[in-house]
Structure 1
Amino acid sequence: MSDLFLKSISHYPLKSAQGLSLTAAHVNPLGLEQDRRWVLVDEHDKFISQRSCAAMGGIHVVAEEQRLTLTFNGQTHIAYANSNDRITATVWGDTVADCWGVQHEVNQWLSASLGLAVKLVYFPDHAIRQVDVVYAGEGYRTAFSDGYPVLVISQSSLDELGRLWGAPIDPRRFRANLIIGGECEPFAEDQWRQVTVGDVIFDLVKPCSRCVIPSLDPETHQQTDGFLRFLASVRRKADGKTYLGQNAVLARHQIVDRKNIAKPENIGMESHGQSIAENAGLLHTKKEYGNAPLESEHREHAKLTVRLGQIVQVR
């Protein structure tokens, strides 16, 4: 295996809207800065994605702190998170309290444009949504991602899928945060336990199971006939699910707890358990952190950053 490097960085400020390619990104315990900090919810405050509203893939967004600029169908609006408008949002059964809404006219415009009643919601820094402790262990959070802060895929995997499909596959279908370039075996990330990019260390904790979204063309937002069947034929495992890429969290020793009592060397970084995915032939790591506090924050004195072209080390 030759030197691996960071080939692509992307973040997705609004869940299920278009992503943005970046040359560098700050990293915190919630993932890449501004990633999945916004979500659309329905009248019952349940999240909406391209699974049920494919047109969302046409929304272009730019995020800056607690402001989101949205462009859709030739119109642009700027949403401002309002801390006085408290909303409880639900994502995959996780109820997230103390989220913030935006001005009514933005919700009206989005609802009219998408043809269904929606509200735009912001995930503030103090909100708590815990990552599945069965896979990652205690003490990790995510915002409005499907379940984990960061998604990693190798370019070799994408190239192999393109070879088998018979045409290049747009990597945007898989909405990864980090794409690792360089020579490695296709789907090598299945076996990686840790990825280091510069000074930033990610623990890979669970393979990413795939839904209908990869079948949607990133340009037309229409389903590509046969793509889901193809992907399942290549990547379906013994548990009946289709996997591609690895979900990741920021390594524990790069996170500082507000109520930190335990020291990193006592946290048990090397404790690994099995999962259904592991039995299906995919690596799964489980960290045992005992009573590690849930609330955590990024080290203020050393802001972690990933940059295109950085050498990547895996183990």
Structure 2
Amino acid sequence: MSDDAPPTEAAGTPELRRLTTYPVKSLDPQDHDSLAVAHGTLAGDREYAMVAKPADEPHDPTTASVGGRGAYVNGKRTAAVHRLRSSVDRTAGTVTLREQDGEESRTFSLDDPGALNAYLTDYFDEPVSIRHEPRGGYPDDREYDGPTVVSTATLREVASWFDVSTDSARRRFRANLELGGVPAFWEDRLYADHGEAVAVRIGDVELLGLNPCRRCVVPSRDPDTGRETPGFRETFLRERQRTRPEWLDSDRFEGDFRLMVNTRIPESEWGKTLTVGDTVRVLGTRQL
């Protein structure tokens, strides 16, 4: 079925439809048929990050997500990240980059990143270096650091608000796990109140749904050009309120500029594997 086909999800069986990582934080996605859970997240997800700090300075992970020196180079900081195409070969230890409007691509070593750092510094016009964290990567949310969850139907619905494709919505919101066989906003069932979590099993892996993801400026931009969608926030807030499920009463839903679910994966699940087509089952609410 095409992603942009009319919605037919309500009567289906919840299943994992897409499994996506972002090898370099803020750059392009990589889809998988099957993937292991490692250190609380998907293996290889956001394993590398671009940091605005000279390459010869020590990396302090406690400052990597804040402004100033040591800040992530991401869509919140600059729209230029949207115009940089990327693909990572984890086996070869390389990343291939190309500017959106350019024809030439270049491949760089991730293990010996001197040339890569020079390229990024030139592209962003500030000192930028690549960082590597193989144990859990650089999650967007350090507290709820598991894979993020959304449904295909939700992405399709949100895409209709802005007259863009479902794939454009997918690339704007950048979820890890996309669910099929469910209606729009079904994933809002996967969190409860503060102090609680919703246990959900996908195949053999149990996750804890914890929080509706608060959005930033990134989804408002075209994922290829970085151009802002006029009136994005206002439209999103209006439509999210209009379509909010009647049963959604969690005290974690603090405002309508939220979409997607943040999770945590218990250590007991590390090493297990998620596979596209896995059945999704909600196990119930648990106290944290």
TM-score normalised by structure 1 residue count: 0.67
Matched, 1:182 2:181: yes
Aligned match of 2:268: 253
Query: How many angstroms apart in 1 are the aligned matches of 2:92 and 2:220?
Result: 32
Q: Higher relative CO (CA 8 A, sep ≥ 6), structure 1 or 2?
A: 2
Correspondent of 1:227 among 222, 232, 236:
232
Query: How many angstroms apart in 2 are the aligned matches of 1:122 and 1:79?
Result: 12
> Is contact 1:195-1:313 (8 Å) kept?
yes
Return the offset for 1:173: 1.0
> Is contact 2:149-2:176 (8 Å) kept?
yes
Unaligned runs of 5+ in 2: 1-10, 54-68, 191-197, 242-251, 284-288
Matched, 1:243 2:267: no
Return the offset for 1:194: 2.8
Correspondent of 2:90 among 64, 82, 88:
64
Correspondent of 1:23 among 33, 37, 57:
33
Matched, 1:53 2:78: yes
> Is contact 2:40-2:266 (8 Å) kept?
no
TM-score normalised by structure 2 residue count: 0.72
Cα deviations across residues 28-57 of structure 1 (Å, max 9, x unaligned)?
233111100111111322211012222223
Specify which structure has the higher proportion of strand. Answer: 1
Matched, 1:111 2:121: yes
> Is contact 2:108-2:115 (8 Å) kept?
no
Unaligned runs of 5+ in 1: 82-101, 126-141, 255-297
Query: How many angstroms apart in 1 are the aligned matches of 2:234 and 2:177?
Result: 25
Q: Secondary structure at the match of 1:56?
A: helix
- Between the two proteins, what is the percent identity of the paired residues? 26
Correspondent of 1:307 among 261, 275, 284:
275
> Is contact 2:39-2:267 (8 Å) kept?
no
Q: Secondary structure at the match of 1:214?
A: helix
The number of residues matched between the two structures is 231
Q: Which amino acid aligns with 1:179?
A: E
Aligned match of 2:222: 217
Aligned match of 1:154: 151
> Is contact 2:16-2:178 (8 Å) kept?
yes
| Cα distance, 1:6–1:158 mapped onto 2, change above 3 Å | same
Query: How many angstroms apart in 1 are the aligned matches of 2:262 and 2:253?
Result: 19
